[in-house]
Amino acid sequence: MASLLLPSPQLPRLANLLTSSILLHLLIVLLLLSLAYRVHRWHKLRHVPGPFLAGWTSLWLTRGFISYKVYEDMHALTKKYGPVVRVAPNKVIINNIDSIYRITSARSEYKKSDWYLLARVMPGADNLLSMRDPKLRAKRLRHVLPAFSGKNQDDFEPAVDKTISTLLDLINTKYLSSPSQHRLMNLAQKSHFYTLDSFGEIAYSQSFGSLDTDSDVLGIVKTGDVTFPLLSAVHNHHKIFQTIQKWPFYYLLPREGDKVGFGRVFGLALEIVNKRSREVGEEGVDKKRDMLQSMMDNGLEGDELRSEVAMSFFVGSDTVASAIRMTMLLLMTHPAVYRRLQEQIDDAAEKGKISRPVTNDEAKRHLPYMQAVIQESLRLFPPSSIVPFFKEVPETGDTVDGYYLPKGTTIGTGCVMWSMNRDEDFWGPDANLFRPERWLEANEERRTEMERCVDLIFGSGKFVCAGKKIAFMQMYKLFPELLRGYNWSLPDPLHLPTIDNPTIWDIHGLMVRIEKR
Ligand code: HEM
Ligand SMILES: *[C@@H]1O[C@H](CO)[C@@H](O)[C@H](O)[C@H]1NC(C)=O
């Protein structure tokens, strides 16, 4: 039988020829289709200026993200091309303050783009940040916003006071220098311990114990350090991440039982939620007045609750830690500013205007120069200045600063923060200078304008950061204690710390010398 079917000697060649020509044709058709798609994609935004390559391939933008220098790229682009720039085939950035406020306003039809799926730290369960659907978002906001809201701020202060006192104890026992004793402290790390532990107290009525043990006990800092650089590589390729979150890759993702990394963090989220659920039923245990309890009281439970908790470890601590360490670095490198701030704090303390630790309200009323210092530091080093936070143009399309953007175009509202806050046309020729005085010199109208610009680093309108007030409170209460009690200095001008920006500002080797005053 088999031999009967054997083809004649010519046939294989013919068959080979046929298949290879079919394959060749198929390949050509595929190439043409892909080209047509690319031309179509390019054509849709051809009127928007930008680098030539960026119109054709995403890789142009990816290069910027991988180098951690995308914030500088964006600055160069807006300088060269104007207020709307195409940075990838389907992506633009805009650098007009009013336009950003308009597209994020409560009435706007803009949505979070699918980029936000990157924030889905727990597979299969959305948190407030990753949630895109406007209706679901509105519902989730109702459940979780009260936990972050102003009316609970007073309740949060004792939690932060407790953490500050632990930090000061740590400094006093382990890191004080004197003429006869030289000790250095890693301030970049301790600032993260502080924000992590104080957030733990605020949100879950439990410190994470980082300052108590002077170590990254739970591995959260480490997880962030490893994750952020990876994250910046996928900012422009979130689809890959989306695929990973689906079967079968899902099974490769971190699990609760893991000892380190995200798995450890999920496990911790689960532990916290379970512990509280048990306590709620128990007699004799006072009802906690923290963020977790507020979310539970508002009906959040199960995976929804756990995903909010897991997300909060990351958004709630790295950003503020970044702001604290950059502010301290700026102070130590600008002695005139440092001295003026220290004097204001000393003076307020002498006149009995601030308590120890300072209350949020006292800081707002009696320490205007400190507020200016913080604003100026946030302006120069916005904590999340490479994160794009892409928003999606609605069904109807939209015209932004004279450029028509068809539906589905995504607009990066985040990664332009460095650029907007150092724009010389807006800030003046000394835009790059750390000069808090500019905030005090400005008249009311100008100051409001300046604040509107810096405020954008927290997002705006319906997408605004839920933890903004908490972030300021954590800073307002901390700096006075650091400056009134100690002198801070950088030990060695020849070995200055190096600064990196893989999502937040990371300072390597921020070793500082602390002397009691
Ligand atoms: C200086 C510190 C901080 C900065 C610069 C910052 C910045 C941001 C930005 C840019 C967004 C996204 C806005 C957008 O989608 O367009 C955001 C969202 C968010 N932040 Fe913050 N943040 C900070 C501190 C915090 C803290 C301390 C918490 C928690 C206590 C927090 C909780 C959140 C939450 C829950 C969201 C999601 C809000 C939503 O999507 O509706 N943030 N933040
Ligand atoms: C701390 O700094 C101030 C000046 O800023 C100086 O007068 C004081 O002597 C310093 N204290 C110590 C202990 O170094």
Please name the residue whose Cα sits nearest to atom 20 of ligand 1: 465
The Å distance, Cα 340 to ligand 1 centre, comes to 31
Strands (E), 353-402: 390-392, 398-400
The Å distance, Cα 516 to ligand 2 centre, comes to 9
Asked if 458 contacts 464 with a C-beta cutoff of 8 angstroms, the reply is: yes
Q: Residue 335: CB within 6 Å of ligand 2?
A: no
Please name the residue whose Cα sits nearest to atom 13 of ligand 2: 517
* CB-based burial label for 178 (10 Å; 0-12, 13-18, 19+): exposed
Residue 417: pLDDT band (50, 70, 90) is very high
Residue 247: pLDDT band (50, 70, 90) is low
- The verdict on pTM exceeding 0.85 is yes
Q: Which ligand is nearest to the CA of 486?
A: 2
Q: Which ligand is nearest to the CA of 343?
A: 2
Q: Residue 359: CB within 6 Å of ligand 2?
A: no
- Site to substitute for ligand 2 among 487, 488, 489, 513, most atoms within 8 A of C-beta: 487
Q: What pLDDT, on the 0 to 100 scale, is given for residue 9?
A: 58
- The atom of ligand 1 lying closest to the CA of 129 is 40
Closest CA to 250 of 112, 116, 125, 389: 125
Number of H helices, E strands in the chain: 23, 13
Please name the residue whose Cα sits nearest to atom 11 of ligand 1: 465
- The atom of ligand 2 lying closest to the CA of 516 is 13
- Site to substitute for ligand 1 among 315, 378, 475, most atoms within 8 A of C-beta: 315
Asked if 112 contacts 392 with a C-beta cutoff of 8 angstroms, the reply is: yes
CB-based contacts of 272: which residues, under 8 Å, 6+ apart? 204, 206, 292, 309
Residue 2: pLDDT band (50, 70, 90) is very low
Whether residue 153 is predicted with pLDDT greater than 70 in this model: the reply is: no
How many Cα atoms occupy the beta-carbon half-sphere of 232 within 13 Å? 25
- The atom of ligand 1 lying closest to the CA of 322 is 1
- If you average pLDDT over residues 365-373, what whole number do you get? 98
Report CA 35 to chain centroid distance, whole Å: 36
- The atom of ligand 2 lying closest to the CA of 178 is 13
Return the amino acid letter for 24. Answer: L
CA angle 133, 139, 145 (to 5 degrees): 115
The Å distance, Cα 423 to ligand 2 centre, comes to 37
Please name the residue whose Cα sits nearest to atom 17 of ligand 1: 465
Q: What pLDDT, on the 0 to 100 scale, is given for residue 7?
A: 53
Q: What pLDDT, on the 0 to 100 scale, is given for residue 10?
A: 64
Whether residue 489 is predicted with pLDDT greater than 80 in this model: the reply is: yes
- Site to substitute for ligand 1 among 101, 113, 126, 465, most atoms within 8 A of C-beta: 465
Bridge partners (DSSP) of residue 515 are: 177, 487
Q: Residue 339: CB within 6 Å of ligand 2?
A: yes
**280 or 404, greater pLDDT:** 404
Phi then psi for 508, rounded to 5 degrees?
Answer: -90, 135
Whether residue 152 is predicted with pLDDT greater than 60 in this model: the reply is: no
Please name the residue whose Cα sits nearest to atom 11 of ligand 2: 517
Q: Residue 487: CB within 6 Å of ligand 2?
A: yes
**Pocket around ligand 1 at a 6 A CB cut-off:** 128-129, 312, 315-316, 319-320, 323, 383-384, 389, 413-414, 457-459, 463, 465-467, 470-471
Whether residue 371 is predicted with pLDDT greater than 90 in this model: the reply is: yes
Asked if 235 contacts 58 with a C-beta cutoff of 8 angstroms, the reply is: no
pLDDT digits (tens, 9 = 90+) for 60-97: 999 988 888 899 999 999 999 999 999 999 999 999 99
Whether residue 398 is predicted with pLDDT greater than 90 in this model: the reply is: yes
pLDDT digits (tens, 9 = 90+) for 103-145: 999 999 999 999 998 888 777 789 999 999 999 999 999 999 9
Residue 236: pLDDT band (50, 70, 90) is confident
Q: Residue 343: CB within 6 Å of ligand 2?
A: no
Return the amino acid letter for 199. Answer: F
pLDDT digits (tens, 9 = 90+) for 456-475: 999 999 999 999 999 999 99
Measure the CA–CA gap between 305 and 90, rounded to whole angstroms.
34
CB neighbour burial string for 224-234, b if at least 16 within 10 angstroms, e if fewer: beebbeebbeb
Closest CA to 220 of 186, 264, 187, 166: 264
